Structure 1
Amino acid sequence: MRSPGLHTRLSLLLLLAALLGGLAHAALSSWASTWSTAALLVGLALLLLAMIALAGLMLAPLRRLLRALEGSVLSYRDGDFSMSLAAPSHGQPPELAELLRLHSELGLALREQRQQLAQRELLLDSVVQNTPVAMLLCQPQGQISYANLAARQLLAKGRSLVGANLNTLLADAPEALAAALQNPQDQLVSVPENGQEEQFHISQRSLLLQGQAQRLLLLRRMTRELSRQEVASWKRVIRVMSHELNNSLAPISSLAHSGAELARRGQIERLEAVFKSIGGRAGHLHQFLSGYASFAKLPLPQPAAVLWPEFLAGLRAHCQFELLGGWPEQPGFFDAGQIEQALLNLIKNAHEAGGPPGEVSLSLRSDGETLVLTVADRGPGMSEAVLAQALLPFYSTKRSASGGGTGLGLALAREIAEAHGGRISLANRSDGGLAVSLLLHGQARA
């Protein structure tokens, strides 16, 4: 037999209360003259207790369910989804039985979702821990809240970094790496490691995790990728040179044949135009090859003391820039010709970046034995993909009507900086644009 519903039970309770109240009123009215006041009060008290007991009996399932639901909700709030309510007992109102069934289904769904989430977190943690990209998650004060295996090996020789302070770790890290991690912009830096130069691409992002601000640092080794890209670049440049040589040699061969035919026929007056065309094609080919030869045959630098006024005056004769902050008190010590060529390439790239020409600037800063020359612009900067390949020889994003750039400007500047025992650093500016810095060491000898 089906148990009466909660609505039916409450209706019967109210009906019974009304009936008993009417009977009590009739009894009091008829027996008031014969009963004493004490007896009436006792009768009313007994009637009230009976009503309370009856109401408690009929509402007991609801109270038990509410207590059970309260306990389960508190468990869910604490993240414990293992609690489940007992199956409805015989005589339970159908509404409460349905509520228990739905609650059980909800608990089962939450437990399954929790298990799936735990499995996904385990999979994600396994992937993150074994990725070659070093990952750090830092709080605004610099405290590290997460570090994968690559980050621990790079910064702490495999030791745990959770709870450590990033600034304390960077005190023992290479200077270039420490400076790059303290700069909030994406950049490509060279770091000495095991006697060799290791290229790192550093990305930084701000995010909210569980309501708290965090800084995500990604350090990707680029040396192997750069080597692979260099091979692809050499293949590309061979194709470009073959194409350019064919485009020049084929007309020269044709013009030489035409000149020989004109000479055989005695039409000497037309030979001047033929020779002029041959000379033009040969001059174009020479100019094309000389650009690549200057990169391939970079001579060893001949450092010497360099006076800043004369050096900057010579640089201004070839390009336009704004000097920020003056120049160091001490003379520089480098190969003036090579550094001038590197700066000319960087300033030329800055002008071609698309920003206002008046915003192209050059700054000179001496930090002990390190000289930092920075060329900055207000162009669009570089995307992460372009920034990672910008120093590759023959890599260029220019697509102009004249055929685009050769991709040698930044690569040549990098070769010159490394020939001086320094390095080159690229970073997007926080308020727009790109900053390219040449860092030259050993300036104390000047």
Structure 2
Amino acid sequence: MRLKSLQGRMALLVGVATLTGALVYAGVTQWPLPQLIAAAAELMQSHVDVGWLRTPLGGLLITLLLLVPIAMWLGSRLTRPFLRLLRALEGAVVSYRDGDFGFSIATRRKDEIGDLIRMHNELGHTLREQRQHLVQRELLLDTVVQKTPVALILTDNHQYVTYANIAARQLFNEGKSLEGVRFDALLRSGSDALREIVESGRDALFPVEMDGAEETFHISQRAFRLQGRPHHLYLFRRMTRELSRQEVATWKRVIRVISHELNNSLAPISSLAHSGAELARRGDRERLPGVFSSISERAKHLHHFISGYADVAKLPTPRIEPVAWGAFIEALSLHCTFRLCGELPERDGRFDAGQVEQALINLVKNAHESGTDEDEVTLSIAEVGQAWRIEVADRGPGMSEAVLAQALLPFYSTKRSGTGLGLALAREITEAHGGRLSLSNRRHGGLRVTLLLPMNDA
């Protein structure tokens, strides 16, 4: 036990207090207080009985009277550092509440109180450094947000703008400040399409008339809590140039795919036509049916290829009708081979049976082309919330992350003879029903394609 520790000091003070009490009691009952009183009585020529001081009760009373001021003094010495520490901590708490972390407490103590004060000072130093780093990060973040071309608007729960960057001020208020302005007032001065999108709470594209030309913007909106209060964040990104670039890239890809497929069909047709003409000139009519048959096959392949593009470009509006799952699966099994997993739902679905059947035929066909055995291509249907989940799964090699990111794009294919329309058509059909199509790799190998179709209850 350290002598300078609080425990050591308290033990020392208790020992001093005990020794003082014993000395005071001895001085009152034995010596020198009785002798002093007797001597004073002799000088004053009076008789004073001091025998009662030697009794336990008398000595104890006098001892207590003398020890009270001594105990008060020792108590003040013992509690003084605690009181000073509490006042200092009170000042530190007030400073921290006001955001001032520069408050520190000076001390030379070597006991536990000194250790606590030093730890408090270290905490203040750490908080100061963290606050400096936070301020620097906030400054960096604000600089990035202000310089980004994406318009950003943050509103509180009452639709008042609490933050807007430069792009947002230029887009909505000719470069003037937006803080404190009601966001719905800004929307009233904009297009009807923008107001409808914001009211719906979804992400979408919308046109804006700017400098005599139409610009396309994409809006993303999210709700979250900031400092315990609800806020809304709106992001407006100009997409005109990006959409134009994507459109040009898509057309280039389409032209490249169509040109490749046309060349693959027209070259053999031209060659076969020339061969047929040569055979006819020689009078060799026995081989002409085979030539014409080959030309017909290539023409049918080319017609099928072109009609696939037409299906994607001219997908009709789905005719939503009640569909019995049993009859639907039976009809689907006539066109492709798969293994049904689980029980079929008892409640009928509501969708365009012909379009969904075409989407599933494409997905099952892709599953077979992955090299999966016929019994490993599975189909399952389940009711999930307010949607039907239809899954087609295989045990092929699956897809890499790069392929997964682009597999649903039209005309994208990793197959030599693929058109890249199967998954794209399935996606178009699913989204036309208000649903969503997703791809994911299976844990032990293979690919899972999931269609989520809304129930469309009547």
Classify the TM-score, shorter chain.
Answer: 0.5 to 0.7
Q: Deviations over 1:188-219 (max 9, x none)?
A: 22233333222111111121211112221111
Alpha carbons of 1:43 and 1:379: their partners in 2 closer, same or farther (altered >3 Å)?
A: closer
SS at match of 2:103: coil
Compute the displacement of 1:11 (Å): 0.6
Contact 1:185 1:428 in 2 (8 A): no
Q: 1:190-229 alignment to 2 at 5 Å?
A: 190-229=207-246
For residues 189 and 428 of structure 1, the distance between their equivalents in structure 2, rounded to whole angstroms, comes to: 21
1:73: which partner in 2?
93
1:321: which partner in 2?
320
Question: Cα RMSD between the aligned structures?
Answer: 4.6
Contact 1:207 1:213 in 2 (8 A): yes
2:46: which partner in 1?
none
One-letter identity of the residue aligned with 2:195: A
For residues 238 and 350 of structure 1, the distance between their equivalents in structure 2, rounded to whole angstroms, comes to: 29
SS at match of 1:404: coil
For residues 351 and 17 of structure 1, the distance between their equivalents in structure 2, rounded to whole angstroms, comes to: 99
2:419: which partner in 1?
403
Compute the displacement of 1:155 (Å): 1.5
TM-score, structure 1 normalization: 0.64
Higher RCO structure, 1 or 2 (CA under 8 Å, sep 6+): 1
Compute the displacement of 1:28 (Å): 4.6
For residues 308 and 187 of structure 2, the distance between their equivalents in structure 1, rounded to whole angstroms, comes to: 41
Larger radius of gyration: 2
Alpha carbons of 1:25 and 1:81: their partners in 2 closer, same or farther (altered >3 Å)?
A: same
Residue among 256, 267, 271 paired with 2:284:
267
1:16: which partner in 2?
16
Compute the displacement of 1:135 (Å): 1.2
2:51: which partner in 1?
33
One-letter identity of the residue aligned with 2:188: A
For residues 136 and 349 of structure 1, the distance between their equivalents in structure 2, rounded to whole angstroms, comes to: 41
Q: 1:162-241 alignment to 2 at 5 Å?
A: 162-241=179-258
Alpha carbons of 1:153 and 1:349: their partners in 2 closer, same or farther (altered >3 Å)?
A: farther
2:4: which partner in 1?
4
SS at match of 1:163: coil
Q: Deviations over 1:308-351 (max 9, x none)?
A: xxxxxxx89xx62369xxxxxxxxxxxxxxxxxxxxxxx96998
SS at match of 1:81: coil
Matched, 1:93 2:92: no
Matched, 1:110 2:127: yes
Compute the displacement of 1:407 (Å): 11
Structure 2, unmatched stretches of 5+, are 35-49, 323-353, 364-379, 382-386, 391-405, 437-451
Alpha carbons of 1:350 and 1:19: their partners in 2 closer, same or farther (altered >3 Å)?
A: farther
SS at match of 2:99: coil
Residue among 51, 58, 64 paired with 2:71:
51
Contact 2:161 2:178 in 1 (8 A): yes
Q: Deviations over 1:76-134 (max 9, x none)?
A: 24432111112x23xx2332332222222221111111000100000001111111111
Contact 1:142 1:167 in 2 (8 A): yes
For residues 54 and 203 of structure 1, the distance between their equivalents in structure 2, rounded to whole angstroms, comes to: 71
Structure 1, unmatched stretches of 5+, are 299-314, 324-346, 358-376, 381-388, 413-424, 435-446
Contact 1:3 1:93 in 2 (8 A): no
Contact 2:28 2:62 in 1 (8 A): no
Contact 1:192 1:198 in 2 (8 A): yes
Q: Deviations over 1:209-266 (max 9, x none)?
A: 1111222111111001111112222221222122112211232133234424533553
For residues 64 and 427 of structure 1, the distance between their equivalents in structure 2, rounded to whole angstroms, comes to: 70
For residues 410 and 144 of structure 2, the distance between their equivalents in structure 1, rounded to whole angstroms, comes to: 32
Compute the displacement of 1:379 (Å): 8.4
One-letter identity of the residue aligned with 1:156: N
One-letter identity of the residue aligned with 1:149: I
For residues 39 and 21 of structure 1, the distance between their equivalents in structure 2, rounded to whole angstroms, comes to: 11
Compute the displacement of 1:274 (Å): 1.7
For residues 197 and 255 of structure 1, the distance between their equivalents in structure 2, rounded to whole angstroms, comes to: 51
SS at match of 1:269: coil
Alpha carbons of 1:399 and 1:212: their partners in 2 closer, same or farther (altered >3 Å)?
A: farther
Q: 1:250-329 alignment to 2 at 5 Å?
A: 250-263=267-280, 265-282=282-299, 284-285=301-302, 320-321=319-320
For residues 131 and 96 of structure 2, the distance between their equivalents in structure 1, rounded to whole angstroms, comes to: 11
Alpha carbons of 1:276 and 1:197: their partners in 2 closer, same or farther (altered >3 Å)?
A: farther
For residues 412 and 101 of structure 2, the distance between their equivalents in structure 1, rounded to whole angstroms, comes to: 55
Compute the displacement of 1:34 (Å): 5.7
Alpha carbons of 1:20 and 1:3: their partners in 2 closer, same or farther (altered >3 Å)?
A: closer
SS at match of 1:188: strand
Alpha carbons of 1:8 and 1:292: their partners in 2 closer, same or farther (altered >3 Å)?
A: closer
SS at match of 2:286: helix
Compute the displacement of 1:4 (Å): 2.3
Contact 2:28 2:59 in 1 (8 A): no
SS at match of 1:16: helix
One-letter identity of the residue aligned with 1:72: A
For residues 278 and 85 of structure 1, the distance between their equivalents in structure 2, rounded to whole angstroms, comes to: 97
Moved more, 243-252 or 253-262: 253-262
One-letter identity of the residue aligned with 1:221: R
Alpha carbons of 1:41 and 1:85: their partners in 2 closer, same or farther (altered >3 Å)?
A: same
- How many residue pairs get aligned? The number is 346
Moved more, 154-163 or 120-129: 154-163
Q: 1:347-426 alignment to 2 at 5 Å?
A: 352=359, 395=410, 403-405=419-421
Contact 2:411 2:419 in 1 (8 A): no
